[in-house]
Chain A
Amino acid sequence: MRSFRSVFIAVVIAAAMVVAAFMLNSRRPRTETDQPSAANVRAGGKCAECHSRETPAIVHEYQMSKHAEKGVNCLDCHGLNPGQERLDHRGFVLAKHLTAANCAKCHATQYRQFLRSRHAAPAWAAVLGPQGFTAEQIAFSEQYHPGGVNRKANPVAMLEGSVPTAGGCQTCHAVGRPNSDGSIGTCTNCHARHAASVALARLPETCGQCHMGPDHSQIEIYHESKHGVLFNAQRASMHLDAPSRTLTARDMPVPTCATCHMSGLEGMGVTHDTSERLSWYLFAEISTHRPNYGMAQTNMKEICLKCHTRPRIEEYYAQAEQQINSTNAIITQAKAIIDGMHASGKLDAKPLNEPLEFTYFNMWHYDGRTSKHGAFMGGADFVQWHGNYELAAKLIELQHASQGGEAGH
């Protein structure tokens, strides 16, 4: 009897230890005990095991993504490409920084289209000029955007210095930065990282991260326009994640930025060249036709035709182009005044060191752009009060200064 008692005692002690272990484990927080799904482990491999606890948000973002749905795993994107800095991480060889080259392994067509756009090299060069780009990259970009990369660094960026430039300008303009692996740009500015989302890229707010503010106030203009109002009213019923190649007006009955500038709506070709449907250099001091003016305008009007009749579109374009001509005329007058003051010695040759030079800069860089963007995007208030009114007031200010007021007052 004593013998069995000993075995019984041993079994009871063992059971107590196991129960204690179970209880300890059951009291642990859910965040520690939750497991990645089997599909996620298959797709994410070893990574998901740790990162479900170490950085759970990005794993969840990935789980919701099309990448996870299609079985694209972490190493497919994070793997090392030629020319990239290596990161040894718990037995895996990773790229320290991901670039467009990592995405281009699968999305080569989209990357090639992107390279032709002003989102590529010209975006970065708009701040820092051609530094960092190879001769081949510059030559390639100049085919499509003459003077887009072969240009001086932005005088405002030079005036403000490296700190505000790094934290400000370069954050958005990094969409076309030169990378150490020979590629250009980053796709994650629009698609985010682990979400890798087409729906995100179609949201106006995504474009509005950069296309906002006084110098390029597209998001504000969009939200004032009927397009923006309808989008906000109907966004819940829209299918922003619909496949690009089969996107219909049923999926997106109201256009967002991507619809007009990139999407393949109702059988049209989808493009990552955001310049492909743009016919004017609206951002320029004096706006001129882009090299592909005719084709670009035809492409954009094709999109307009999904919702509007041709006469209405032609009327709209004619009115918008009148606004361009009007703004060009005002800026030309203002430029003549400033040039005259430089010639007469009222202003010195150094750029942006006197208040009147900022007045002129604000005219074309803020008010002129706003009036033109407003005209093309249906933002009446931006055409008028934020655009033409400011242009008129500042032109008079310049005229007054040139006719007798204090230089640089």
Chain B
Amino acid sequence: MSPVLARVRGASVATFTVYVCGALLALAPAMPLASALENAVSDHPNGSGALYAPGGVWLMEAFAELGGAWAVLANVTVITLLLSLMLGPLLQMTWLAALLRRRRLADALSEGARRYFLAIGVSIALSPLLGLALLLLVAVPGLVGLAVASTPSDRTHDLALLAACTPALAIAALWATWHDLARASLARGGGVLSAVIRGALATFQRSAVPAYLSWLALGALVGIAAQILGGALDVGGTLASLCVLLVTQLLALLRTFVRARWLAAALERVR
């Protein structure tokens, strides 16, 4: 077994915990939305099956019926996402600790908590790079747009703008990879913050960005597969509903393990 897979296997409990935390957080905005949609069609003879009717008659009615609940739902979603952002460093450092030393969850959690603020420090230290990506996302397409303003071809114009986004996207990918590697270095006890970040930067020679992007692509594919399979299996009835629940959650778990594999690889890279 490769060292990466061995690490993933050794940290199964932590990975599962991260998955459970994500699922619980997802429940916060999902429950009121699903409940509102189901309530809207609760008097329909087809029950929640009406939401899937061709033409979207009842789905549109249900969304229209949300009315003031939209604001509540938006607030819950924003709060959940902020909570995810706050919990993120703790979960990631705990996860990395478990992946690094195959520790018990409680010990990993304690190590994660110890490095919580340093992990936030990594994010703050690297934030100028993210800022640069955002700046480029606005500025470069703007400049390219001016340069190609007179081209008569809409296709050429739009493709040029799309190409102009590439530097910003490349820097964003660089930032995301560096961010994970720096936190992996931190988990390895990489000393002061600047040394951690410098050490992480050194690992770029080993084609880290493509490795990061491959987990991202695989994770996205698994997420899309969950929606497609969930839709295909959702034919009504307890058994089908159970199948949908199992399949979507198994795929969410798989996506978490794909990320665990990348984090384990990051730990190997910053050795």
A binds B: no
